[in-house]
């Protein structure tokens, strides 16, 4: 099963991706995580991506599409995967069709008013786990691996505003794109607890 996770910044794509990966044994591919790993590693891709990410804009399509196309050829992607944060505009969606067969696009629907608080309160671990300060009770270490929690550089109000504009103008049209293809499943419980959201996703995927 090959799945796309669609949703605004802070909708809970990453949070649900780790739960889905565990239950369905799907590989989690997050283009945002790939870019952040490249930035940390000081690669050419990282240097290019950083300026776009800091500005809340999309990294150029040629770079992003080439990364995903290559990643999907790896051995570990052959038994099914979940794309988190890709595609993010119509061009990327059309490119994806040339090298992948998508079964379903899960759109996690969350009111925009909630997103700023969710994102600015997010704390992440290098292992991929993410938390919200409201549930951390002052803890500063990851509950899964004990790593130090930190805040993503693009999780500041100014960049979040730009990311939301980018989402609304470039990514949201993909909802209609996948609806027309009969592949869209809307996760209406996106404002519920992470477990409630996951429960609905399981219902959808088990069908
Ligand atoms: P990316 O890393 O994909 O960021 P994003 O899309 O902005 O999404 P987030 O990771 O911020 O949110 P999420 O939906 O994963 O939410 P999470 O589960 O963490 O992309 C970053 C940048 O990389 C882009 O801006 C762009 O520049 C570049 N990029 C990436 N892909 C690209 C592409 N294809 N093309 C070009 N450029 C690309 O949850 C958020 C918070 O809410 C957490 O604190 C979490 O604990 C909390 N939370 C989650 N679920 C719930 C819930 N149900 N109830 C309460 N709190 C919750
Ligand atoms: Mg994410």
Q: What pLDDT, on the 0 to 100 scale, is given for residue 128?
A: 85
Helices 90-99 and 61-71: crossing angle in degrees, nearest 10, is 30
Q: Is the pLDDT of residue 20 over 90?
A: yes
Q: Which residues of 63-83 are buried (b: 16+ CB within 10 A; e: fewer)?
A: bbbebbeebbeeeeeeeebbb
Cα 156 to Cα 55, 75, 129: the distances in Å are 11, 37, 19
Rounded CA-CA distance 32/203 in Å is 27
**What pLDDT, in 10s, does the model give residues 35-57?**
999 999 999 999 999 999 999 99
Q: What pLDDT, on the 0 to 100 scale, is given for residue 129?
A: 87
Q: pLDDT class for 187, splitting at 50, 70, 90?
A: very high
Strand duo 122-124 + 81-84: pairing: unpaired
Q: What pLDDT, on the 0 to 100 scale, is given for residue 65?
A: 98
Q: pLDDT class for 123, splitting at 50, 70, 90?
A: very high
pTM: 0.96
Q: What pLDDT, on the 0 to 100 scale, is given for residue 193?
A: 95
Rounded CA-CA distance 15/78 in Å is 23
Q: For residues 172-184, give the mean pLDDT.
A: 98
Compute the distance from residue 182 Cα to the ligand 2 centre, in Å.
25
**What pLDDT, in 10s, does the model give residues 62-101?**
999 999 999 999 999 999 999 999 999 999 999 999 999 9
- Here the tokens at position 204 are 């959808």
Rounded CA-CA distance 176/183 in Å is 10
Choosing from 69, 152, 179, 183, the catalytic residue is 152
Q: For residues 112-129, give the mean pLDDT.
A: 93
Secondary structure (DSSP) of 25-57: T-EEEEHHHHHHHHHHHT-HHHHHHHHHHHTT-
Around ligand 1, the residues with Cβ closer than 6 Å are: 7, 9-15, 30-32, 35, 52-53, 56-59, 64, 85-86, 88, 92, 118-119, 121-122, 130-132, 163, 193-194, 197
């Amino acid at each position: 099963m090959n799945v796309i996770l669609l949703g605004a910044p802070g909708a809970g794509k990453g949070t649900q991706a780790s739960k889905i990966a565990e239950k369905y044994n799907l590989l989690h591919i997050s283009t945002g995580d790939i870019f952040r790993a490249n930035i940390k590693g000081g690669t050419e891709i990282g240097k290019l991506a950083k300026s776009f990410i800091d500005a809340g804009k999309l990294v150029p399509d040629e770079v992003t599409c080439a990364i995903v196309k290559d990643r999907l050829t790896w051995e570990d992607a052959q038994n099914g995967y979940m794309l988190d944060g890709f595609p993010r505009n119509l061009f990327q969606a059309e490119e994806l069709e040339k090298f992948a067969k998508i079964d379903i696009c899960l759109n996690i629907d969350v009111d925009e008013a909630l997103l700023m608080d969710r994102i600015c309160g997010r704390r992440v671990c290098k292992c991929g786990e993410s938390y919200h300060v409201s549930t951390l009770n002052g803890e500063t270490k990851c509950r899964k691996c004990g790593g130090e929690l930190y805040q993503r550089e693009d999780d500041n109000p100014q960049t979040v505003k730009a990311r939301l504009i980018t989402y609304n103008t470039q990514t949201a049209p993909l909802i209609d794109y996948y609806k027309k293809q009969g592949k869209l499943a809307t996760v209406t419980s996106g404002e519920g607890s992470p477990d409630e959201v996951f429960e609905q996703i399981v219902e959808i995927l088990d069908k």
